[in-house]
Structure 1
Amino acid sequence: MYSANPHRYDTMVYNHLGNSGLQLSAIGLGLWHNFGSVDPYDNQRAIVRQAFDLGITYFDLANNYGPVPGSAERNFGHILATDLKPYRDEIVVASKAGYEMWDGPYGNWGSRKSIIASANQSLTRLGLDYVDIFYSHRPDPNTDVYETAQALDSLVRQGKALYVGISNYSGAQTAAIIDCFKDMHTPFVIHQPRYNMFNRQIESDLFPVLKREHKAAVGFSSLCQGLLTDKYLNGIPDNSRAAKSTSPFLQPKQVKQTLKTVRALNEVAESRGQTLAEMALAWNLREPELACVLVGASRPEQLLDNVKALNHLDFTADELAEIDNILNDQSAIDWSR
């Protein structure tokens, strides 16, 4: 029988989501990779236990996470039932809809039918009556934004979600849907964008909107698919994501193009007494609108390293300037995939 670490809340940082009462752990666990039907269940269980023992209370899922799609929710649901059931009120479970999940016209995008059907399926896989946050995973170019907002609002009114969020929306799209949520008095609390040292577009596009509206963000791809770690400092390991030519998320050419930059950033991290990954996570959290950074894990020990970022969140003006100079020298790379 699993018994959680009694000191799990002693050192974790918790941040409010804008002007809402909800707080998230500054580091959250993303279940995009390593939690599917093809991954060892015992390892998944060990990772989740380690996360909660470290005070990580935010667990981020989506309907299509796997592979196969849906299996990450199903596996996490088993872990909830066997290990975390006594702690349900201490954790924040989030899921999303918007990417292709089933065949036909209703298993994708942001229509009312798709979002509500997907949320019902997610709750069944998770074995829950409600999720804490349900997201629109991406904007739908063919559905009026009010319909998507109304669908999310319905989930709250039906008791199937406590709060709602959006992901991958631009600043302008975010402002438009926030107006809808205001009209309906929907508890919209969070945006989930891609954000890391190599992906900074939202600093001038999205963050000003969130600041103006007193909303928060939780960043994904916080370590840029592992580039912002020590994994690729000496080349591409055979067992790495970049070594898999079929990976759509990190290509060998991207590793080679960023190697000089990554090594320079690593020198700054060493001068701060941190690993590159620790510094990269701390750097993300310097943004006041970013309440939480998502990390992935293929083994529990990685989380022990990740939370060390919270020991040194402060940066001097000189350090930030040096990091900016290093990043400004980086040639343009296409991170769209």
Structure 2
Amino acid sequence: MIDPVYSAAPDRYHGGMKYRRAGKSGILLPEISLGLWHNFGDVDTLSGSKEKIHHAFDKGITYIDLANNYGPSYGSAEETFGQIMKKSMAPYRDELFISTKAGHDMWEGPYGIWNSRKHLMASIDQSLKRMNLEYVDIFYSHRYDPETPLEETLQALVDIVRQGKALYVGISKYPKEAAEIAYRYLADNHVPCLLYQGRYNLFNREPEEEGILDQASKHGSGFVAFSPLAQGLLTGRYLDGIPDDSRIARGGHLKKEALTEDVLRKIRDLNEIAARRGQTLAEMSLAWLLKDEKVASVIIGASSVKQIDDNLKSLDNTSFCDEEICLINNVLSR
């Protein structure tokens, strides 16, 4: 039953969100997208998840990023989204750009992980069922599999599009050499790679240093950045120590060992630069990514509506003068 309470904001495309072309395609992505890696699993409230997704859409965020094992528990983020999709977002399906992925551990046994055709085909079917969708807009190979022949993985992606289960395909976290093969194989089979999704932030600049950004651009693929705030290190939360409710304190993916004295010093120096720009550290960190036109979109997580709004403030100023770039590079190189 459709939720009669929610009606999308009529000005959702006139509130300041900008859209960027995804490589050489007809797809436009919001500069800020919403990722459901954390805060949307079965350990979170459905009402809170629904509030955040509704609010994001009202602000012009049309790209919702998922994966089969997002949660916790595995699959629960897709289930949560599926409930929201069925009850309130179904009328807006054609305005949404929805992704999912497969390749990390998902179920027991030898076929519940990596990139075999069997795993990818089973995963897309399971994901569509959980999300109450007939198709996703893009299906990603979530990571490179060094054991499965790459052609098997890529042909499965091609067939998923031809079967109508995804409109586009992409790759995530692939090393440059494997990505080159993927771009060429997919293009030769008339299912070009729409997006490359990679970890990219002020503390992790591998996509630019290793040529991943340029490679994607050369092949007509857009680049989508995830972990733009280095799992919270670039939010300013740790300027005065480790908060009790932080990811480090909770013992999640971000470990205490990551917050060294050197990292803390860089965080404080970057925060000073952000303040001079009239931004928070998080706002500047997101803006820094968006200064590059090769970045099609930046995926944020959100534990609250306020956090979404705070991150959207980064769009007010995504330009940097040469002096600011030099200052930031000097901080990061020390």
User: Could you say which TM-score interval applies, normalised by the shorter chain?
Assistant: over 0.9
CA deviation after TM superposition for structure 1 residue 138, in Å: 0.5
Q: 1:102-134 CA deviation, whole Å, 9 max, x = no partner? A: 111111111111101100000000010000000
The AA in structure 2 aligned to 1:6 is P
Give the aligned partner of residue 213 of structure 1: 219
Say whether 1:242 aligns with 2:248: yes
Name the % identity.
50
- Distance, in Å, in 2 between the alignment partners of 1:93 and 1:211 is 22
Superposed CA deviations along residues 253-299 of structure 1, whole A, max 9, x for unmatched, are 32233111011101111111111111000101122221100100111
8 Å contact kept, 1:215–1:289 = no
Instruction: Pick from 216, 230, 233 the counterpart of residue 224 of structure 1.
Output: 230
- TM-score norm. by structure 2 comes to 0.96
Structure 2: distance between partners of 1:278 and 1:59: 20
Q: Is residue 219–residue 290 contact of structure 1 (8 Å, CA) maintained in 2?
A: yes
SS in 2 for 1:293: strand
Code of the residue aligned with 1:250 in structure 2: it is L
User: What does residue 54 of structure 2 align with?
Assistant: 49
* 2:22 corresponds to which of 10, 17, 25: 17
Within 2, Cα distance between the matches of 1:137 and 1:93? 15
Aligned counterparts, 1:31-50, within 5 A = 31-50=36-55
SS of the aligned residue for 2:140 comes to strand
More off after superposition, 26-35 vs 178-187: 178-187
Partner of 1:6: 10
Q: In the alignment, is residue 197 of structure 1 matched against residue 202 of structure 2? A: yes
Deviation (angstroms), 1:187: 3.4
- Mapping of residues 305-320 of structure 1, within 5 Å: 305-320=310-325
The one-letter code of the counterpart of 1:88 is: R
Determine if contact 2:183/2:192 at 8 Å carries over to the other structure: no
Deviations, residues 188-224 of structure 1 (Å, cap 9, x unaligned): 2001100000000121321121122121111110100
Q: Unpaired segments of 5 or more residues in structure 1? A: 330-337
Question: Is 2:104 the partner of 1:103?
Answer: no
Paired residue type of 1:262: I
- What amino acid is the match of 2:258? Q
Alignment of 1:1-337 (within 5 A): 1-10=5-14, 11-205=16-210, 206-244=212-250, 246-247=251-252, 249-257=253-261, 258-329=263-334
For 1:231 and 1:256, locate their aligned partners in 2 and report how far apart those are by CA, in whole Å. Answer: 14
Deviation at 1:40, TM superposition (A): 1.3
AA of the residue aligned to 1:54: K
For 1:229 and 1:53, the matched residues in 2 are separated by 24
In 2, Cα distance between equivalents of 1:187 and 1:37: 35
Aligned-residue RMSD, C-alpha: 0.9
Q: 1:7-41 deviations in whole A, cap 9, x for unaligned? A: 11111010001111111111010100011111111
User: What's the secondary structure of 1:142's corresponding residue?
Assistant: coil
Q: Distance in 1 between matches of 2:187 and 2:30?
A: 26
Cα distance in 1 between the residues matched to 2:198 and 2:115? 17
Whether the aligned pair in 1 keeps the contact of 2:70 and 2:78 (CA below 8 Å) is yes
Q: In the aligned structure 2, how far is the partner of 1:104 from the partner of 1:252?
A: 32
C-alpha contact 1:12 1:25 (8 A) present in aligned 2: yes
2:29 partner SS = strand
TM-score (structure 1 length as normaliser):
0.95
In structure 2, what residue type is equivalent to 1:2? Y
Instruction: Determine the C-alpha separation between the residues in 2 that align with 1:182 and 1:85.
Output: 32
Q: In 2, distance between residues paired with 1:228 and 1:72?
A: 25
* Aligned partner letter, 1:182: A
Q: Which secondary structure does the structure 2 equivalent of 1:227 belong to? A: helix
Which amino acid is 2:6 matched to?
Y
8 Å Cα contact 2:224/2:298 also seen in 1: yes
Q: 1:264–1:326: 8 Å Cα contact kept in structure 2?
A: yes
Moved over 3 A (4+): none
Alpha-carbon distance in structure 2 between the residues aligned to 1:207 and 1:188: 14
Aligned residues: 327
Q: Matches of 2:206 and 2:329 in 1, distance apart? A: 14
